[in-house]
């Protein structure tokens, strides 16, 4: 076997990779040393901007296998028959911290899944919680600013975190989730994943349904207490990455069972909760879980930067039979996610191997830009329509049209019978055991007691009391006890 030759970026052989060229022995380094300059310049540019949110992530490849017939609800080809398998890539992440943050922290977890289907890539971007803190995308930048490092102190500030929540009563449901027992997963393998948003499925007959996705872990739910998490972070800040990598390497392939809740489109308008409100769930008694298939992770990336950091997910990557709903947060993310990747990775990021279609070929009139690798030839036109053999539209919509009416303007979400900000948070609290309630109250009080302003504390306590009188009373007592110490 012949030895591999080290070369420059242009392919020229490198004579010496240990010593820079100098003006004589011990002399100053020469500007003409092309190999040195190229290495230093490339090193300076090795990093791309990290994600503003979901920066700290891990990922793995696998497959999705259909186990149950759902063709009555969707015409999506990758869901068209029992036994069908589709290659996937799943990226897990924390939300608030930076790329260098620890894994075992109290924070929602991203659950972003790419299906490499024969009709194009389908991206399902969700979390490990079925709800979120806000329901309108215009509040998202402010929410994230309140949760990240303060511009002056350079660290996360309880005043900022709880002040935003004090002015956002719709966050009470998600705060109850986050501060509860599932707020710190033991590993990525031991948590559920949710599409969180409401999506639309359309069948071959053109009938529309609204759906919510639930990926139930087959490893069982395992979570950490605040004390266990602090100890684990001290031992291995990369604990979730370590667990995922090592489990797959030794052949222990994690899996999830996908279920969906299905709502006929005609029932949405009169449902007791706004079905497009990201701070709400659909109770399973109203819309039971229906099994769809199994997700398995069986292969680690060969290069974390190329395949995890450069992985780009966008909820507007739909395939025929799946589309958006009027969920306002989803509507905002249809723009924001793709735009974030164009900024971070460039306009041609979809041509990177981890993002490119695998079961079909992208064929369109997009041209040029940084790092273009699919730019056509003398025989390809860069406009449409044309008289040549370029790709043409199908005239077949991906999903059913959504009916709209009313006046343009800035409107609050429509109110349904049970649409307040506290009812479901109270229902969640009342489902908990006494031990779970005690830990929830302790977790909330631990953060809220550090807030410097009494009015912010009082507003948050009022939210918990509105969800459940006992809930509010216990939080108030716990906060008072901590502040008197």
The residues that are catalytic are: 54, 127
Tell me how far apart the alpha carbons of residues 485 and 286 are, in angstroms, rounded to a whole number. Answer: 46
3-state secondary structure of 443: helix
Mention every residue, 6+ apart, whose C-beta is less than 8 A from residue 405: none
Task: Kindly list the distances between the CA atom of residue 311 and the CA atoms of 50, 87, 280, 337, in Å, as whole numbers in the listed order.
Answer: 12, 15, 29, 12
Mention every residue, 6+ apart, whose C-beta is less than 8 A from residue 5: 13, 14
Could you write out the DSSP letters of every residue in 388-438? SS--------SSPPPP--S--S--PPPP-TT--SSHHHHHHHHHS-HHHHH
Of 321, 283, 122, nearest to 203 by C-alpha is 321
Could you write out the DSSP letters of every residue in 130-190? S--S-S-GGGHHHHHHHHS--TTTSS--HHHHHHHHHT-GGGHHHHHHHTSGGGSBS-GGG
Phi, psi of 428 (to 5 degrees): -65, -45
Tokens of 168: 């956002």
Q: Are 94 and 107 in contact (CB under 8 A)?
A: yes
Q: Are 243 and 99 in contact (CB under 8 A)?
A: no
DSSP state of 70: -
Tell me how far apart the alpha carbons of residues 74 and 205 are, in angstroms, rounded to a whole number. Answer: 9
Mention every residue, 6+ apart, whose C-beta is less than 8 A from residue 449: 457, 478, 479, 482, 483
Q: What share of the chain is helix, strand, coil (3-state, %, to 5)?
A: 30, 15, 50
Report the DSSP beta bridge partners of residue 17.
Answer: none
Tell me how far apart the alpha carbons of residues 336 and 343 are, in angstroms, rounded to a whole number. Answer: 11
Tell me how far apart the alpha carbons of residues 182 and 177 are, in angstroms, rounded to a whole number. Answer: 7
């Amino acid at each position: 076997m012949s030895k591999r030759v080290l070369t420059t970026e242009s392919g020229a052989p490198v004579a010496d990779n240990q010593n820079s060229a100098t003006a004589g022995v011990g002399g100053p380094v020469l500007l003409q040393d092309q190999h040195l300059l190229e290495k230093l310049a490339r090193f300076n540019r090795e990093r791309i901007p990290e994600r503003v949110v979901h920066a700290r992530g891990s990922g793995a490849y696998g497959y999705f296998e259909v186990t149950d017939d759902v063709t009555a609800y969707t015409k999506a080809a990758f869901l068209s028959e029992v036994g069908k398998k589709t290659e996937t890539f799943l990226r897990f992440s924390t939300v608030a911290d930076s790329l260098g943050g620890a894994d075992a922290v109290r924070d929602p977890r991203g659950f972003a899944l790419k299906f490499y289907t024969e009709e194009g890539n389908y991206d399902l971007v969700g979390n490990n919680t079925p709800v979120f803190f806000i329901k309108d995308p215009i509040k998202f930048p402010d929410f994230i600013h309140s949760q990240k490092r303060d511009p002056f102190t350079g660290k996360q500030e309880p005043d900022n975190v709880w002040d935003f929540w004090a002015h956002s009563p719709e966050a009470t449901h998600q705060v109850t989730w986050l501060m509860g027992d599932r707020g710190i997963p033991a590993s990525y393998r031991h948590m559920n994943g949710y599409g969180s948003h409401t999506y639309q499925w359309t069948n071959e007959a053109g009938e529309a349904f609204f759906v919510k996705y639930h990926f139930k872990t087959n490893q069982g739910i395992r979570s950490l207490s605040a004390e266990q998490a602090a100890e684990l972070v001290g031992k291995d800040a990369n604990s979730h990455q370590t667990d995922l990598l090592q489990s797959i390497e030794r052949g222990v392939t994690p899996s999830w069972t996908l279920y969906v809740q299905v709502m006929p489109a005609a029932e949405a308008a009169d449902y007791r909760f706004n079905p497009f409100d990201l701070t709400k769930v659909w109770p399973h008694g109203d819309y039971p879980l229906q099994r769809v298939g199994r997700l398995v992770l069986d292969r680690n990336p060969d290069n974390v930067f190329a395949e995890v950091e450069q992985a780009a997910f966008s909820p507007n990557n739909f395939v025929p039979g799946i589309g958006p709903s009027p969920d306002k947060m989803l509507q905002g993310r249809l723009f924001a996610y793709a735009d974030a990747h164009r900024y971070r990775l460039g306009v041609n990021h979809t041509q990177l191997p981890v993002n490119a279609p695998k079961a079909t070929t992208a064929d369109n009139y997009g041209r040029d830009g940084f790092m273009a690798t699919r730019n056509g030839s003398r025989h390809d036109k860069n406009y449409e329509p044309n008289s040549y053999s370029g790709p043409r539209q199908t005239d077949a919509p991906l999903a059913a049209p959504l009916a709209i009416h009313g006046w343009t303007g800035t409107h609050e979400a429509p109110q349904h019978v049970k649409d307040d900000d506290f009812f479901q948070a109270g229902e969640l609290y009342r489902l908990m055991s006494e031990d779970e309630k005690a830990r929830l109250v302790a977790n909330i009080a631990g953060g809220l007691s550090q807030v410097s302003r009494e009015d912010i504390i009082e507003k948050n306590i009022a939210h918990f009391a509105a969800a459940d009188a006992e809930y509010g009373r216990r939080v108030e007592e716990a906060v008072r006890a901590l502040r008197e110490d």
